[in-house]
Amino acid sequence: MLPPALAITRRIRSTPWSSRIEDFGVKAYTVYNHMLLPTQIRGVEEDYHHLRSAVQVWDVACERQAELRGPDAARLAQLLTVRDLRSLRAGRCAYAPMVDDAGRMINDPVALKLADDHWWFSVADSDVVLWAGGLARGMGLDVQVCEPEVNPLAVQGPKAETVMATVFGEAVRAIKFFGFERLDFRGRSWVVARSGWSAQGGFEIYVDDDELAAVLYDELMAAGAAFDIGPGCPNLIERIEAGLFTYGTDVTREHTALEASLDRYLALDAPIDAIGLDALRSQRAAGISRRLVGLMIDGDRVPHNRNGWDVEHGDERVGSVTSAVWSPRLSTNVALGMLRIDHTSVGAEVTVLAPDGERRATVVEVPFPGSSQR
């Protein structure tokens, strides 16, 4: 039986590229920041091979910007993230986890420092403008918080640099990972960053004009014709292999940044004023009780996981698998799961209660071997 359709109404915002990808025949959407996000263009496996071998244009308009502007923008930016922003220069991005007072995840955005008094947080799926705007108001800060009409378009895959150089010029080649430049397109100046939610390498263009957005899309497609360019989207197989969790699925409001395994991005020893830092310091000292890990699940192709699957060891429940999919490249099921801390070392064996039966699974290191071509 087919699942019921999800009605696409005005509450679910369309993007400047929705009609393009629908003309192409996009197979599935999800909703992210109240906006459409494609999840399958031709199909998850076909999209996976295409992303790893060619180049794709991704409609990731749903990665909305929470903009901070004004004299207190830098102070608010640092309050909002437990990443140390002190040494971040203008023209650089930083993966910047956001937590509440208890250290629990609110979002895991990419921060872009446009200037000392001008920041974007390119957010995952939660209403950061409400949190940031509320803080600014409550603390009496001199900063404007808004969600500007800026829509990211990502170009990802091994041929991304060649295609981007055709459209934006040779300057794109000099942009370093997580760096950005303002580059011209038809008289407009757009932020172009070397970033994106895949481990295949590529760029993100922050587009602030809906009409030119369509022109850009068509130019990229024309520039990449010789390289088998096509529409794409964040890919379930590729992102699990890369060890990229998705907020709302693998990590939620329940989990702290330490439980999300974000240790290396947390400024736990820096003398900065950031919300949640004290709580995370205490948790580090006390030790955490669960953590997100990579898993290999034995057996044939797992079914679609609409709900998390319980994980057991002996007769005890020790966690859940939050995302799982068959990897045609590795010929095994790859997964992410939140497990009790005593079952999180590499090599630990557990039992997964998949809907079609019990399976053995092993904790593995992420990224999975050979996942990154960046």
List residues near ligand THG by CB under 6 A: 63, 94-95, 108-110, 122-124, 152, 178, 195-197, 204, 244
- Please check whether residue 136 is in contact with residue 145, taking contact to mean a CB–CB distance below 8 angstroms: yes
CB of 60 to ligand THG, least distance (A): 7
Q: Tell me, rounded to whole angstroms, the distance of Cα 6 from its chain centroid.
A: 23
CB of 266 to ligand THG, least distance (A): 12
Nearer to ligand THG, 103 or 109 (CB): 109
Place of tokens 């990224």: 367
Q: Where are the alpha helices (DSSP H) in the chain?
A: 18-24, 44-53, 73-80, 128-138, 160-168, 210-223, 236-241, 277-286
CB of 217 to ligand THG, least distance (A): 17
CB of 303 to ligand THG, least distance (A): 26
- Please check whether residue 77 is in contact with residue 119, taking contact to mean a CB–CB distance below 8 angstroms: yes
Nearer to ligand THG, 61 or 141 (CB): 61
Nearer to ligand THG, 24 or 95 (CB): 95
Long-range pairs of 312-315 with CB within 8 A, sequence gap ≥ 24: 312/350, 312/351, 312/353, 313/343, 313/349, 313/350, 313/351
Nearer to ligand THG, 220 or 244 (CB): 244
Instruction: Specify which residues 251 forms β-bridges with.
Output: 247
CB of 259 to ligand THG, least distance (A): 16
Structure tokens belonging to residue 265: 């991005």
Nearer to ligand THG, 16 or 350 (CB): 16
